[in-house]
Structure 1
Amino acid sequence: MLSRLSRFGLALPRSLSVPPARFVSQSKPSGGAGSAAVTEVHRPHESTEHGEVNPFAKNPDYHGFSSDTAEDDWNMKVVFFMGVSVFIVFGGVFTHYLPDQLMFQWARREAERLIVLREKEGLPIISENYYDPNKIILPPPADE
């Protein structure tokens, strides 16, 4: 499983790696501490690293994805392909062909239809009274 993950650039960090196997003996403790003896099957991994190394010293074209040069270059190409091609291009095409949610195109067509209809009838495009003043019911004048 780990070899498959590392092939795709998905290796576990050292903090999550599997520790060496440890066994606790079932015999009675011989010392005065009162705890079971713990024995290591493998010797602890000795680090030969001398601190952090600048990744640009090993790979001048370092992109920040991996310390391996081939994997770093491959991951950079995948990320930029997905970011530019898929999200920007296909996202723009997808949003362009979405239906008219706020009905702006319908409102424009309806306004153009009403303008043509009013011009055929000889009426002004917009009348001075939007509502018919004879149908407006006003409150009675208040006595002051």
Structure 2
Amino acid sequence: MAALRRLAGLQRLLGLPGCAVRAVSSGGSNNTVASIQVPSVSVPAHIPKEKEKEVSEYTKNPDYHGFDSDPVIDLWNMRLAFFFGISVAIVLGSTFLHYLPDHGMREWARREAERLIKEREAQGLPLIDSNYFDPSKIVLPPEEEE
């Protein structure tokens, strides 16, 4: 019976003409018959809907980035800040790293070693001496103080 009521409600919603509905139960010894008359309700063919302008969710609830209270200006300020911030960080940062002085003075040490090798070859001295420092220049404490 509940299904018939829902069907009647659907017919009224769609504006279909009402018709008599009869339900017959085939179970049990009692033959029960129920008749339902669905009243016809006239529904106008065209219901004018209220013209509501569709508003985007982002217009209703904008994401604030903290630059301005106006959502449009806030969005543009955020875009500009991130674009120029990232661009400056990448361009100037890589330029700064490229022009940093020699870390650990490796290039200077190599140039100095090449200069000393040329100087020792010109003087006829061995490239590497067994004594790193000149022994005549080393001042040792006297042996008496121990």
Structure 1 and Structure 2 fold alike (TM over 0.5): no
Q: Which has the higher helix share?
A: 2
* TM-score computed with the length of structure 2 as normaliser: 0.43
TM-score by length of 1: 0.44
Larger Rg: 2
